[in-house]
Chains A and B, each alone.
Chain A
């Protein structure tokens, strides 16, 4: 019997679990995927928005600004790559200038520091921006974050502080008997709990409907992106946005914490929540729009295209509330952009404003907010690195050539309380396979490492989802 079951281990669910782990509560997280952060968290712009865009007074505006401010501390505690680079929202035409003023006003209302820069100032900061730029809104608090390690490390920290994580458990029904919820999974496992927090991302609508009829809908809106290799460190240094439209913040060009560049996303309504396909016409449009802002984007450096679905709520705002009929079911729904930036604040908000109303929260004495620090070879001097390699030779052996990831770094992840069980999970934690060859060289090696660690034959190692075996058969198998 749990005090709280969190359904969904994306960045929101993981950060809620971590927050709950600081209290004397028995907490479980149930996730249908083979890893945390596999769906909405997997495919987004990896941006900590400053908060200039949300409508003043909305939950989005409030939590975005609060969340943004929390990132310095949380990235330190959770050892997550985070860089406060700032963003530039550019006006390319004179008729866009009033809109830029409007945004500046909105920023002030939201409490976001911004400055309107002249064309000259913009080009000094970012020489690759379209020379016709008229002005830009500079938001210095915007940042880049690694959403994968944020989520993995938040969950790891939660587990280190006593939370139980159950992966590959798909919730199919929820029943209430007396004061107790029974969360029923496809595996036939049943988890009993006093309180449920619905953080099921794009599927939070379906989870919520298991207990009551709901008045909102979530529309899956697909965003398609390009990733460019880290061929150079000077394409852009800030996140470059166009002016926002009704469809969203538009197609951005941004560096990432991994040194690559992200271009996208599109924003199309799709029919299926599972649809993460890409198509040429949409990507061509992304390319055209991005090139208008930054004409010199070298699309021959594209190493991957991907798409993700965002749960766009019919209410146009985050839906964080008690169920109508029962305040022991708390829903976090419609967490689309700026969800990642807001996620630490969402966790605080859910626990402080909702969980606290139904459970008594007592601090744990031995709560440790710090995740085990990862070695950061890139930031070490040759002497430091050599000292380390002497103790642990596996830090000298490179597995991923493109991203220079060592065997030691991969083996360290297996020791975590949320160890990677799939190729994609290793990729998210270490960047092995994220580079230009996309695992062409290292994927066989990584497959072998996973097989060895979990004592599996090679053809039982998954790429990502159920049944997505990396290799399917043995050569010369008699069968």
Chain B
């Protein structure tokens, strides 16, 4: 059996960033295992721009962003395997992967970083009502067909869900000559960024139907019709609000889910992000197994994925060097009023070097709010925000010295100013 100090599963932006950071921290015995024929992951098909504003202070397209990282991996000589699919991670950190050249390979790892990204919620997962014709795609699947395979899935398109990939695809399909008839969003606000609403929908006069969802999909063979209707606060359809569109394509942009399969049969708790429960080092319930990027919780910016991957790399290197003690004062971090989730869920404060960041999302849009971070019943940090929306992840960085080590619970919540 091969031995490796650090095995990174998934060579997308998270995996590459983690590998580079670990290398920079002195770790040399690294292996990246990537299922595709290239490093870069999903960014390969994200040909639009808007990546890298934080990381490189410029706007790059997905392929440009990923190439900067893959070139760095090459430059540093970090080993990687392409076209290699991880079949299993065992309790004692044996990673089994398969490819056509080497066959089944078992690698005994001292530490593992899982960076396998996410997958799209699909028609099955959202239990879309009606027939089951062809012509219903997840937005990302259509993106792959259009951008990489050179095939336009259809020419009359409706989009369910205002997630960013759906909005990007509304523009992309329009540019390629398709007619996008509208976008329906279940919630009363968009799940995508304002910028995308303006530049992908308004620019092309594509209507956005808020508080609407698909009531019926029709077509015994291929998709023929999509009927949407308005929903009330309890998400029940309001009668008399049906609108039917004659379409050959329905794209779904209804959320992403962490691709956490490899953890399923391990004693690792899954949090409400649908990713693993982790501590401040991005370490799961199994010591030495870390997770970062979209497999941990779905990010809106790749720049933040990269940042989190570096935190995981720091954690993994700390672990490999015996510096993660898991001793002393420990916190459980809980989402409070208005907050959907917080990462990390556990903090061993004595293992924190100097700063600690909490990442979270609000449940609904707020204006003029204070974000509170409380230890027990004492507020240790309060931040004012003029606006905060669920589609944008918030990051709060805290100095280690702010923590009182008195209570064992930290809560993050928002309060609106009146």
By the criterion CB–CB under 8 Å, are B127 and A302 in contact? yes
Q: Which residues of B contact A385 (CB under 8 A)?
A: 98, 103-104
Q: Which residues of B contact A439 (CB under 8 A)?
A: 141
Task: Tell me, yes or no, whether A278 is within 8 Å of chain B by CB.
Answer: yes
Task: Tell me, yes or no, whether B102 is within 8 Å of chain A by CB.
Answer: yes
Closest to B152 in A: A473
Of listed A398, A463, A467, residue having the most chain B CB within 10 A:
A398
Task: Tell me, yes or no, whether B379 is within 8 Å of chain A by CB.
Answer: no
Task: Tell me, yes or no, whether B227 is within 8 Å of chain A by CB.
Answer: no
By the criterion CB–CB under 8 Å, are B145 and A440 in contact? no
Given contacts A232-B264, A471-B153, contact A283 B134 (CB under 8 A): no
Q: A174-227: which residues lie under 8 A (CB-CB) from chain B? A: 226-227
Given contacts A277-B130, A396-B99, A476-B176, contact A389 B149 (CB under 8 A): no
Given contacts A278-B127, A382-B104, contact A438 B261 (CB under 8 A): no
Task: Tell me, yes or no, whether B182 is within 8 Å of chain A by CB.
Answer: no
Task: Tell me, yes or no, whether A390 is within 8 Å of chain B by CB.
Answer: yes
Task: Tell me, yes or no, whether B393 is within 8 Å of chain A by CB.
Answer: no
Q: B133-156: which residues lie under 8 A (CB-CB) from chain A? A: 133-135, 138, 140-141, 144-146, 149-155
> With A and B bound together, what is the CA distance between A70 and B199 in angstroms?
63
Q: A444-479: which residues lie under 8 A (CB-CB) from chain B? A: 444, 448, 458-459, 462-477
Task: Tell me, yes or no, whether A402 is within 8 Å of chain B by CB.
Answer: yes
Closest to A232 in B: B264
Q: Which residues of B contact A458 (CB under 8 A)?
A: 149, 151
Closest to A424 in B: B134
Task: Tell me, yes or no, whether A304 is within 8 Å of chain B by CB.
Answer: yes
By the criterion CB–CB under 8 Å, are B123 and A438 in contact? yes
Which one, B176, B216, B222, contacts A468 given CB within 8 A?
B222
> With A and B bound together, what is the CA distance between A463 and B261 in angstroms?
26
Which one, A396, A398, A440, A467, contacts B222 given CB within 8 A?
A467
Q: Which residues of A contact B154 (CB under 8 A)?
A: 471-473
* Shortest distance from the beta carbon of B298 to any chain A beta carbon, whole Å: 15
By the criterion CB–CB under 8 Å, are B144 and A302 in contact? no
Task: Tell me, yes or no, whether B401 is within 8 Å of chain A by CB.
Answer: no
Task: Tell me, yes or no, whether A74 is within 8 Å of chain B by CB.
Answer: no
Task: Tell me, yes or no, whether B132 is within 8 Å of chain A by CB.
Answer: yes
Closest to A299 in B: B127
Q: Which residues of B contact A280 (CB under 8 A)?
A: 127, 129
Which one, B100, B146, B153, contacts A394 given CB within 8 A?
B100
* Shortest distance from the beta carbon of B244 to any chain A beta carbon, whole Å: 15
Q: A377-411: which residues lie under 8 A (CB-CB) from chain B? A: 382, 385-386, 389-390, 393-398, 401-402, 404, 406-407
By the criterion CB–CB under 8 Å, are A464 and B134 in contact? yes
Which one, A277, A401, A443, contacts B85 given CB within 8 A?
A401
By the criterion CB–CB under 8 Å, are B138 and A475 in contact? no
* Shortest distance from the beta carbon of A431 to any chain B beta carbon, whole Å: 14
Given contacts A276-B132, A470-B134, contact A465 B221 (CB under 8 A): yes
Q: Which residues of A contact B120 (CB under 8 A)?
A: 437, 440
> With A and B bound together, what is the CA distance between A407 and B393 in angstroms?
39
Q: Which residues of B contact A475 (CB under 8 A)?
A: 146, 150-152, 176
By the criterion CB–CB under 8 Å, are B152 and A472 in contact? yes
Task: Tell me, yes or no, whether A274 is within 8 Å of chain B by CB.
Answer: yes
Which one, B129, B220, B265, contacts A465 given CB within 8 A?
B220
* Shortest distance from the beta carbon of B395 to any chain A beta carbon, whole Å: 27
Task: Tell me, yes or no, whether A119 is within 8 Å of chain B by CB.
Answer: no
By the criterion CB–CB under 8 Å, are A302 and B222 in contact? no
> With A and B bound together, what is the CA distance between A182 and B275 in angstroms?
61
> With A and B bound together, what is the CA distance between A204 and B124 in angstroms?
30
- Interface membership of chain A positions 213-254, coded 1 if the CB is closer than 8 angstroms to chain B and 0 otherwise: 000000000000011000111000000000000000000000
By the criterion CB–CB under 8 Å, are A438 and B221 in contact? no
By the criterion CB–CB under 8 Å, are A441 and B119 in contact? yes
Task: Tell me, yes or no, whether A23 is within 8 Å of chain B by CB.
Answer: no
By the criterion CB–CB under 8 Å, are B127 and A305 in contact? yes
Closest to A462 in B: B134
Chain B interface bracket (under 10, 10 to 19, 20 to 34, 35 or more): 35 or more
* Shortest distance from the beta carbon of A427 to any chain B beta carbon, whole Å: 12
Q: Which residues of B contact A464 (CB under 8 A)?
A: 134, 221
- Interface membership of chain B positions 108-139, coded 1 if the CB is closer than 8 angstroms to chain A and 0 otherwise: 00000000000110111101011111110010
> With A and B bound together, what is the CA distance between A469 and B223 in angstroms?
10
Task: Tell me, yes or no, whether B248 is within 8 Å of chain A by CB.
Answer: yes
Q: Which residues of A contact B83 (CB under 8 A)?
A: 397
Closest to B127 in A: A305
Task: Tell me, yes or no, whether B321 is within 8 Å of chain A by CB.
Answer: no
Task: Tell me, yes or no, whether B106 is within 8 Å of chain A by CB.
Answer: yes
Task: Tell me, yes or no, whether A279 is within 8 Å of chain B by CB.
Answer: yes
By the criterion CB–CB under 8 Å, are B104 and A474 in contact? no
Q: Which residues of B contact A468 (CB under 8 A)?
A: 133-135, 221-222
* Shortest distance from the beta carbon of A466 to any chain B beta carbon, whole Å: 6
* Shortest distance from the beta carbon of A287 to any chain B beta carbon, whole Å: 10
> With A and B bound together, what is the CA distance between A396 and B97 in angstroms?
9
Which one, A232, A283, A303, A393, contacts B101 given CB within 8 A?
A393
Task: Tell me, yes or no, whether A349 is within 8 Å of chain B by CB.
Answer: no
Q: Which residues of B contact A467 (CB under 8 A)?
A: 221-222
* Shortest distance from the beta carbon of B327 to any chain A beta carbon, whole Å: 32
By the criterion CB–CB under 8 Å, are A278 and B134 in contact? no
Task: Tell me, yes or no, whether A310 is within 8 Å of chain B by CB.
Answer: no
By the criterion CB–CB under 8 Å, are B129 and A277 in contact? yes
Closest to A442 in B: B141
Task: Tell me, yes or no, whether B76 is within 8 Å of chain A by CB.
Answer: no
Q: Which residues of B contact A441 (CB under 8 A)?
A: 119, 141
Which one, B35, B101, B140, B144, contacts A396 given CB within 8 A?
B101
Task: Tell me, yes or no, whether A164 is within 8 Å of chain B by CB.
Answer: no
Task: Tell me, yes or no, whether A428 is within 8 Å of chain B by CB.
Answer: no
Q: Which residues of A contact B85 (CB under 8 A)?
A: 397-398, 401, 404
Q: B273-302: which residues lie under 8 A (CB-CB) from chain A? A: none
Q: Which residues of A contact B152 (CB under 8 A)?
A: 471-475, 477
By the criterion CB–CB under 8 Å, are A386 and B104 in contact? yes
Task: Tell me, yes or no, whether B87 is within 8 Å of chain A by CB.
Answer: yes
Q: Which residues of B contact A304 (CB under 8 A)?
A: 123-125
Q: Which residues of A contact B98 (CB under 8 A)?
A: 385, 389, 396-398, 406
Task: Tell me, yes or no, whether A370 is within 8 Å of chain B by CB.
Answer: no
Closest to B270 in A: A231
Q: A263-295: which residues lie under 8 A (CB-CB) from chain B? A: 274, 276-280, 283
By the criterion CB–CB under 8 Å, are A444 and B132 in contact? no
Which one, B35, B149, B221, contacts A466 given CB within 8 A?
B221
By the criterion CB–CB under 8 Å, are B124 and A438 in contact? yes
> With A and B bound together, what is the CA distance between A290 and B144 in angstroms?
38
> With A and B bound together, what is the CA distance between A466 and B222 in angstroms?
8
Q: Which residues of A contact B221 (CB under 8 A)?
A: 464-468
* Shortest distance from the beta carbon of B279 to any chain A beta carbon, whole Å: 23
Closest to A381 in B: B104
By the criterion CB–CB under 8 Å, are A396 and B129 in contact? no
Q: Which residues of B contact A395 (CB under 8 A)?
A: 100
Which one, B99, B122, B248, contacts A437 given CB within 8 A?
B122
* Shortest distance from the beta carbon of A406 to any chain B beta carbon, whole Å: 8
Q: Which residues of B contact A18 (CB under 8 A)?
A: none
Chain B interfacial positions (CB closer than 8 Å to A): 35, 83, 85, 87, 96, 98-104, 106, 119-120, 122-125, 127, 129-135, 138, 140-141, 144-146, 149-155, 176, 216-217, 220-222, 248, 261, 264-265
> Considering the complex of A and B, which 10 residue pairs feature the smallest CB-CB distances, nearest first?
A304-B124, A463-B134, A393-B100, A468-B134, A398-B85, A465-B221, A389-B103, A386-B103, A471-B151, A396-B100
**What are 19 A-B interface contacts by the 8 Å CB criterion?**
A274-B220, A277-B130, A277-B216, A278-B130, A279-B129, A302-B127, A382-B104, A385-B98, A386-B103, A394-B100, A396-B99, A397-B99, A401-B85, A406-B98, A438-B123, A469-B222, A471-B149, A471-B151, A474-B150
Known: A306-B132, A390-B103. 8 other contacts (CB 8 A): A277-B132, A279-B129, A279-B130, A389-B98, A465-B220, A472-B154, A475-B176, A476-B176
